[in-house]
Amino acid sequence: METQEAHILVVDDDAAIRDLIREYLGENDFKVSVAESGADMDRVLGVEIVDLVILDLKLPDEDGLAIARRLRESLDLPIIILTGRKDEVDRVMGLELGADDYVTKPFSQRELLARIKAVLRRTEGKREKRRGESVRAYRFAGWELNTGTRRLKGPNADAVELTNSEYALLVAFLRAPQRVLSRDQLLESSRLHDDIYDRSIDVQILRLRRKIEESPNQPNLIKTERGAGYYLNTSVETL
Per-residue model confidence as pLDDT tens digits over 160-180 = 999 888 888 998 899 888 989
188, 83: one domain: no
72, 119: one domain: yes
List the helix and strand counts (H, then E) for the chain. Answer: 9, 12
> Which of 133, 159, 188 is at the close of a domain?
133
Enclosing domain of residue 45:
3-133
Q: Where are the beta strands (DSSP E) in the chain?
A: 7-11, 31-35, 52-56, 79-84, 101-105, 137-140, 143-146, 151-153, 159-160, 222-225, 229-232, 237-238
| Total tally of structural domains belonging to the chain | 2
| Domain containing residue 62: CATH number | 3.40.50.2300
> Which of 77, 105, 133 is at the close of a domain?
133
pLDDT of residue 52: 94
pLDDT of residue 187: 79
Using CA atoms, how far apart are residues 55 and 103, in angstroms rounded to an integer? 10
Provide the whole-model pTM. 0.55
- Dihedral angle of Cα 87, 98, 58, 131, to the nearest 10 degrees: 150
> Which of 100, 117, 133 is at the close of a domain?
133
188, 142: one domain: yes
Below-70 pLDDT ranges, the chain? 1-5, 85-88, 90-91, 125-134, 189-199
Taking CA atoms, 20 is separated from 53, 103, 109, in Å, by: 15, 15, 9
Using CA atoms, how far apart are residues 65 and 89, in angstroms rounded to an integer? 11
Looking only at Cα atoms, what is the longest distance across the chain?
61
